Amino acid sequence: MKKLINDPKAVVVESVEGFGLAHADLVTVHPDPIFIMRKDAPVAGKVGLVSGGGSGHEPLHAGYVGTGMLDAAVPGAVFTSPTPDQILPATLAVNSGAGVVHIVKNYTGDVLNFEMAAELAQAEGVDVRTVLVNDDVAVEDSLYTAGRRGVGGTVLVEKIAGAAAERGDALDAVAGVGQRVNANVRTMGVALAACTVPHAGVPSFELSDSEIEIGIGIHGEPGRHRIPMENADGITDRLLEPVLADLKLSRGEKVLLFVNGMGGTPLSELYIVYRHAVKVLGEAGLSVERSLVGNYITALEMQGCSISVLHLDDEMTELWDAPVHTAALRWGA
C-alpha cells in the first residue's frame, strides 16, 4: 500500500486539519469532538444544515460547507459513521433558533447515530428535521443498509436544500425541498478497480483486469453483477437503463445529469461517459438542462463512476442555480 499518510490512525484528523488550514476563509474546524462548520455560523434566522458520514468520500461532506450549502459537516473514521457526540455539538453550534435539518445517507450507522443526536438536540430545545437520502437503484439492501443506499444524489440534495435555507425558507420547507430532490433522483455506479482503506492496507475487494462490478457502493459493497470489461458507451448504457426505468420519466421532461468520479478516474473519461449519457437521454426525449461532472462523492482512490439523473422542476432548477461558495462547489457568489 502506497499512500501519502503518516499514521493510518491519524488520517482523518490530519486531513481535516489540512482542510481547515486550506479553507480558513470558509470554515472553522472544531477539534474535539471533530466537526467542520461554516465560518459565519450560526447565521441569524437561517435554518442550519448538518450532514456527515464516514471519511474517504471527499469532497463530501466538508467540501460543501459554506454559503448556499451546509452549515456543518461531521466526519467519521474512514467508511464509518460519525458518533452522536460529534453530531450533537455540530447541530447545536449551527442552530440560530430556526431549527436544523440533518441530511443523512441511508446507511445503518449513520441513520442510528443521527437519529440519536436529533433526539438529544430536541431535548435541548432545537427543532430538528431529517432528510434521508436513498437514491441508489443498484440494490434494495446491502452490507451497510436496510433499503437503498445514499450515494451521488446526496450532493444534489445538499446543494438544493442549502439554497432553500439560504434564501430564508422555514424548517419544514427546507426539509421538504430536500425530500423532493431525493424522491426525484436515481443513481447507479460501476467499479473498475477497488480502493484500499488505510487501516486495512489491502483492497476492499478483488477485480481482475478484465472485470468490472456494476452497481457498486461507495464503500466497496458488491453490486448487481460482475461482468467482463466493456467500452465506455456500453457501461454508460448499463448504468442508465435501471436509472431511467426507476424514474419513469415522460418525453419532454427536464433533468440534471451528474457524472461522478469515484476518486481514481480521470476527468477525461468522465466526459466520455457524460457525452454518451446525453445522447441516451436525448433519445429518450429528455432535456438535459443542468449538469455536473467530476469527483464530488468518492470512495478513496476507487476507479469507476456513478451516474445520477435528477428530474427537475422550476423551483429545483432555480435553487440549483442559486449562488454557492464552498471549497468544492462555487458559482454565482
Which positions are catalytic?
Answer: 57, 219
In 3D space, the residue among 263, 235, 217, 260 whose CA is nearest the CA of residue 106 turns out to be 217
What is the residue type of 216? Answer: I
On whether the CB atoms of residues 204 and 179 are closer than 8 A, the answer is no
On whether the CB atoms of residues 311 and 250 are closer than 8 A, the answer is no
For residue 8, the tally of other CB atoms under 10 A from its CB is 14
On whether the CB atoms of residues 153 and 181 are closer than 8 A, the answer is yes
Is residue 20 classed as helix, strand or coil in its secondary structure? helix
301 class by beta-carbon count within 10 Å (0-12 exposed, 13-18 middle, 19+ buried): middle
Q: How far is CA 304 from CA 52, 77, 277, 292, in A?
A: 23, 23, 15, 16
Q: How far apart (Å, rounded) are the C-alpha atoms in residues 64 and 35?
A: 13
Q: Is the dihedral of CA 238, 140, 226, 308 positive or negative?
A: positive
